[in-house]
Chain A
């Protein structure tokens, strides 16, 4: 038994609010508040004036899969990283860095668990393998449904919810996913038929199906299958002025079922004001505040160069002329979805970009419960994830926030309500939005908190009035009980875990692919058997990964 004692620390995990110094023990891979007096302490650290949090959890970050790798490929003119002993302290080499750099950079901020939110079933193996090659992080992914032609046909043919549940169960199980994500329900497929927009109650050009039908079917499947994470929704009309109407219609379509709205900042726009583009963040925030079954991640915009990538080809193609530099990649993929990539530069002096920045912050500041609003930039879409410490400072420091606001386009300063929002996040609220909340939303009881028995993913930060400094350079990071980073120096790699859903019926779910009628339909649709792309759990063992299941506790 290996025991590490962290003495005189301030525990901040969104549950325990005491500011009194206390001791925290790491016993092998788990946490304890005390150990028997005779226990031998192997490592003992006095950490007065330090804050201890659980490892950070990023609920929505594009870190593995076809479009992520295309984004790496699209950016060859990157800066060479300096080759001194701490190269990760230099600038990020590219908006979408390699798997090696991704793992290093996340750990260096104290993040230990990340989720790729857009795995195509056809491409799930690649997503998992890339994430396996991302050191230090435990990972999982959400399978993209809602534009897969098999599902659309089932809904169109009124096959019934039971049949849809069976199919969804198969897709989640065979792609080893944590959850279901829907991207512009039906819109990606409609674009393949040359339709350029699809509203919530508009019919698909070829099938008697509307986005409302798709959303309802998938939200019902997620709930009836008992998936830990609710339907993860990228709404219709991303980035379009006036899209608050379709966003609220999307929430209505779910009819009170659990839902997670992703990169919500891009979905709460009005079409008023001097440029026909305005903030409707307060409407969405009010809705979140009054609906306990609703959570969001923000998708905050941070100024600078990035690459936007999305399965939403319909809207990425519509935005192609905004690419900077001027190049773009689009793909229609395997009767399941698509992808679009555009390099993009968010600029402080540009009205729309400035207002997007303010809208994201408005959402953070208006939503009262920090366990239901999660800190993301929708990496890399709003900006690279390495901007999180800066974003935390924006939330914790009103004056700092205003110092940037004052540099924005004059019309943003005239129209935005941001100056009136004086709220400054506390440390426990930051812990709630970056640890506890995401863990709860994903059904990961042993992560995101410092309860006795929880996994010993522990981050020690030096208390600092500058939150950006504090959150960009933890003093120590422990992964599964072992110290892997100390004062910026990586000590060792750690065993990695893949996180997958646990709805009671994985074996039953996989039976779907063996039923002759299903196998024949699949073969006819794709030209190969259902088992070509299905992931066998043994593959994870072959890759040296352990598997952890998420549970839904209402």
Chain B
């Protein structure tokens, strides 16, 4: 048995979750790993100090949770493990739970709940598509640099880039092996334009774009809601979905809506509670209110804890390697931060529980961006990083005492 073939090492720095091979070279991974090594290195140097104070910090955190009557659990959840434990903590504390950066994902979910749609997974689209329609702008490739290679099946396939794409991005698609043609277009209008282009059907079509779509045997419309710069993503997606569903009455076309690692939270929270997030537990029963239980709105309503009789508390859970957002730091509510990066300028009431990086220093389960494959990601084998508790380990510690 060729044992080394088992458990491929998986890159956790974007939602493609690439298997690492000598051929896979990703600028995002290289930059991120260097950042992780620096962070872990500094944590490692002060490991003894952190370790010595960690238990005291945990005790303080437990006391704070015990005293608080109005708790928000938020942060950047990137894996099943952190989400599970955070949802359990929210249930125990009758807390609100919602990721900090959930707006775009919730818009996409709202559209799905209203209109549904016809979508395709990455592997299917890669194998089956004879026409790709990629809607967006350069930001899509900033988020997932290897996406062009991932959807390329090893033969030349036509690809239409609709939106705002720079020459360098167009070259990336071409270098991956696509016959790429860019049509500069206003993103807001695209669903309507596509509908117009195909409205007369294959026999009477009066636009080149429409003919391409209608002559293809299977088209895939690729976009990433989190990187789309349109005013109302949910309404934009509604229009696109309606067009796609209509087209499927006569020929085959589907969307590949590419999500970030944050989609793992929404998936996990949905199976655990029935809702994708933005919930508050009341006597262990989740209540869903996408408007009222948005994390940032919760913070906006509590600008200052000293004047707030409800003893508010925020628990920040962070699987990412990004700095804690400025808007969050401005909230004057006691904070427990479970993250690899300490809170900048902490107050006396703030507590930091230093954690490792999920997928690099600890195992994690995360969804690929099409939310079809749930990958089991083991710690990076070639990184000499200190052992630190994962966010779910820390929450487990807090749960023991709640």
Contacts and interface: CB of A to CB of B under 8 A. Distances in A.
B373 A83 contact: no
B330 interface: no
A317 interface: yes
Interface stretch (B48-56, B196-204, B284-292): B284-292
Interface stretch (B1-9, B31-39, B221-229, B294-302): B1-9
A76 B120 contact: no
A128 to B, nearest CB: 9
A83 B365 contact: no
A94 interface: yes
B245 to A, nearest CB: 7
A527 B267 contact: no
A369 interface: no
Interface stretch (A280-288, A328-336, A382-390, A410-418): A328-336
A125 B374 contact: yes
A123 B112 CA distance: 20
B285 A81 contact: yes
Given A98-B272, A100-B272, A328-B245, 7 more contacts: A68-B271, A83-B284, A98-B286, A129-B365, A332-B254, A532-B10, A533-B373
B121 interface: yes
Given A101-B274, A330-B119, A532 B8 contact: yes
B384 interface: no
Interface string A124-136: 0110011001000
Contacts of B245: 320, 328
Nearest to A194: B252
Contacts of A531: 5-8
Contacts of A524: 153-154
Give chain A's interface residue range (CB within 8 Å of chain B): 35 or more
B372 A122 contact: yes
A333 B276 contact: no
Contacts of A400: none
A122 B123 contact: yes
A130 B271 contact: yes
Contact of A100 (B217, B273, B276, B372): B273
A368 B396 CA distance: 53
B275 A76 contact: yes
Interface string B150-167: 100110000000000000
B75 to A, nearest CB: 21
B136 to A, nearest CB: 21
Contact of B114 (A68, A123, A327, A533): A327
Contacts of A331: 118-121, 254
B116 interface: yes
A69 interface: yes
Interface of B: 1-2, 5-8, 10, 19, 80, 84, 109, 112-128, 150, 153-154, 217-218, 245, 248, 251-252, 254, 267, 270-276, 282-288, 363, 365, 367, 371-376
A409 interface: no
Nearest to A101: B274
B128 A192 contact: yes
B274 A78 contact: yes
Interface string A86-111: 01000001100111110000000000
Interface string A318-358: 00100000011111111100000100000000000000000
A12 to B, nearest CB: 35
A334 B123 contact: yes
Contact of B372 (A64, A80, A129, A334): A334
Contacts of A76: 113, 275, 288
Contacts of A66: 371-372
A525 interface: yes
11 contacts: A64-B271, A73-B113, A78-B274, A83-B282, A83-B284, A98-B274, A125-B373, A129-B374, A329-B118, A334-B122, A534-B6
A94 B271 CA distance: 12
A80 B128 contact: no
A531 B248 CA distance: 34
A45 interface: no
A69 B271 contact: yes
Interface stretch (A215-223, A237-245, A469-477, A511-519): A511-519
Contacts of A542: 363
Interface of A: 64, 66, 68-69, 72-76, 78, 80-83, 87, 93-94, 97-101, 120, 122-123, 125-126, 129-130, 133, 149, 192-194, 317, 320, 327-335, 341, 507, 510-511, 513-514, 519, 524-529, 531-534, 536, 539, 542
Cβ-closest 3 pairs across A and B: A83-B283, A98-B274, A334-B123
A268 to B, nearest CB: 29
A149 B121 CA distance: 14
A76 B111 CA distance: 12
Contacts of B121: 122, 331-334
Nearest to A83: B283
Given A97-B274, A129-B80, A328-B116, A532 B19 contact: yes
B291 to A, nearest CB: 12
Contacts of B119: 329-332
Nearest to B251: A194
Contacts of B150: 527
Contact of B373 (A80, A122, A193, A328): A122
A82 to B, nearest CB: 8
A333 B272 contact: no
B7 A329 contact: no
B276 A73 contact: yes
B270 A329 contact: no
A510 B5 CA distance: 11
A536 B7 contact: yes
Contacts of A69: 267, 270-271
Nearest to A74: B113
B150 to A, nearest CB: 6
A235 B282 CA distance: 45
Given A133-B272, A327-B115, A335-B124, A532 B375 contact: yes
A73 B10 CA distance: 28
A524 B274 CA distance: 37
Given A73-B113, A87-B285, A532-B10, A133 B154 contact: no
B113 A511 contact: no
A73 B1 contact: no
Given A192-B252, A317-B248, A528-B19, A329 B374 contact: no
A329 B372 contact: no
Contacts of A74: 112-113, 116
A534 B288 CA distance: 35
Given A193-B217, A529-B5, A330 B118 contact: yes
A91 to B, nearest CB: 13
B7 A98 contact: no
A66 B373 CA distance: 9
Given A531-B7, A532-B10, A536-B6, A80 B287 contact: yes
